[in-house]
Amino acid sequence: MAEALHLDRASSTNHLGGPALRGFFNIAKQWELSEVEQMAILGLKSRSTLQSWKAGNVSKISRDTLERISYVFGIFKAINILLPIPARANGWMRKPNKAPLFNGQSALDRMTSGNVSDLYVVRQYLDAQRG
């Protein structure tokens, strides 16, 4: 039974890769992310994997990558609720921030550390700002 459950979970996430990555790349374009920044946020080591995904060649992506993309979606939604003018919302992502969480760095500086936990804390920060 546990094996069947594991297989069901795996197959249920396989179909999410393409749509999740398309959404991520749309956000990356709005935020003007470099390939290096995209790779850091996605937790990738290989530029060829990024290029393959951009070309639409996605067989499946890891749960870690799906988690990272989920945080990006939440961050994108939250910042656009807080700052409904797209240019301001997108600009905020690169603007140095005086909040203790950022210590003078931008949200993108924090998000591109490579650690999934940094995506989590940026999302939590924005959700807290929303109230």
Could you tell me which residues come within 8 angstroms of residue 34 by beta carbon, excluding any fewer than 6 positions away?
none
Could you tell me which residues come within 8 angstroms of residue 12 by beta carbon, excluding any fewer than 6 positions away?
none
Amino acid in position 12: S
Domain span at residue 31 reads: 2-130
pLDDT per residue as tens digits for the range 25-38:
999 999 999 999 99
Q: Give the length of the chain.
A: 131
pLDDT per residue as tens digits for the range 58-90:
878 999 999 999 999 999 999 999 999 999 999
Domain count along the chain = 1
pTM, entire model:
0.88
Q: What is the pLDDT of residue 13?
A: 61
DSSP 43: T
Q: What is the pLDDT of residue 4?
A: 44
* φ, ψ dihedrals at 73, nearest 5°: -60, -45
Q: What is the pLDDT of residue 74?
A: 98
User: Regarding predicted confidence, which is higher, 131 or 48?
Assistant: 48
Where do the DSSP E strands lie in 2-129? none
Angle between helices 63-82 and 17-31 (to 10 degrees): 40
pLDDT per residue as tens digits for the range 3-58:
444 434 444 466 778 899 999 999 999 999 999 999 999 999 999 999 999 998 88
Q: Are 65 and 77 in contact (CB under 8 A)?
A: no
